[in-house]
């Protein structure tokens, strides 16, 4: 979700098989660069495999180029990594969110074969995708300040995951500002 010179990304923390919850501490997002995060929803094994592959590629890029990925470049890297497996895809839907070198927000959502869509407002994936878009549409407005953006994205993810019986069980929110990244965990319903 984008704001005024800031961007926020949030995920729930559940890991489960069908209706059995196995873990409530399953990270689905990771920090790619100082001002960029990748969040991945979908099949847990592919989420973990891709996190490892992206981390490898990001580190290699940093060492080869002696600079960090710009969010748009990162999104293209993610997209082409997914399209490499066009005919036996990873079952994931990633979101790239970050601030570019001019501190303008950048948000990109992708499907499982890397067809990417850049959004100026918000992007959502996962099982409660429909609910997320609904609540985003209702709560989001342009040019939110970091604290307002945190409140908006938190209410959005809580409202959406509470209506979805296979997601929730806690949530994590990262708000990326030019100065720093604010990370907060949300207490949500645990049922």
Partner 1 sequence: MECIFGFTGKDFVMTATDSTVAQSILIVKSTEDKSRALSKRILLLFAGESGDTVQFAEFIQRNVRLYEIRNGVELSTKSAATFTRRELADNLRSRKQYSVNLILAGYDLTTELPSLYQLDYLGSSVSAPFAAHGYAAHFLFSIFDRYHRPDLSLEEAKALMKMCVGELQRRFLVNLSHFTVKVVDKDGIREIAI
Maximum distance among all Cα pairs of the chain, rounded to whole angstroms: 47
Q: What are phi and psi of 16, to 5 degrees?
A: -150, 165
Binding residues for partner 1, rule CB under 8 A, total: 16
Q: Closest approach of Cβ 96 to partner 1, in Å?
A: 22
Distance, CA of 139 to CA of 117 (rounded, Å): 21
Q: How long a stretch of residues is the chain?
A: 191
How many other C-beta atoms can be found within 10 angstroms of the C-beta atom of residue 22?
10
Tell me which of 66, 88, 141, 142 binds partner 1, using CB under 8 A. 88
Nearer to partner 1, 98 or 168 (CB): 168
Cβ count near 189 (within 10 Å): 10
- Please, which of residues 26-65 interact with partner 1 by CB under 8 A? 26, 43-46, 48-49, 52
Residue placing its CB nearer to partner 1 in the complex, 43 or 182: 43
Query: Should residue 17 be labelled a site residue for partner 1 when binding is judged by CB under 8 A?
Result: yes
- Is there a contact between 172 and 27 (Cβ–Cβ < 8 Å)? yes
Instruction: Show contacts with partner 1 in window 152-191 (CB under 8 A).
Output: none
Binding region for partner 1 (CB under 8 A): 15, 17, 20-23, 25-26, 43-46, 48-49, 52, 88
């Amino acid at each position: 979700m984008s704001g005024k010179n800031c961007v926020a990304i949030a995920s729930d923390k559940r890991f489960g098989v069908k209706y059995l919850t196995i873990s409530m501490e399953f990270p689905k997002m990771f920090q790619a660069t100082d001002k960029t995060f990748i969040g991945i929803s979908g099949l847990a094994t592919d989420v973990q495999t891709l996190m490892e592959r992206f981390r490898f590629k990001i580190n290699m890029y940093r060492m080869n180029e002696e600079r960090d990925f710009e969010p748009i470049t990162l999104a293209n890297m993610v997209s082409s990594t997914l399209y490499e497996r066009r005919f036996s895809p990873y079952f994931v839907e990633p979101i790239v969110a970050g601030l570019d070198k001019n501190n303008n927000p950048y948000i990109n959502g992708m499907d499982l074969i890397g067809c990417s869509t850049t959004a100026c407002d918000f992007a959502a994936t996962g099982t409660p995708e429909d609910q997320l878009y609904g609540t985003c549409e209702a709560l989001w407005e342009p040019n939110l300040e970091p604290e307002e953006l945190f409140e908006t994205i938190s209410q959005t993810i809580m409202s959406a995951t509470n209506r979805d019986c296979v997601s929730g069980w806690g949530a994590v929110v990262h708000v990326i500002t030019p100065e720093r990244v604010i990370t907060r965990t949300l207490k949500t319903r645990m049922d």
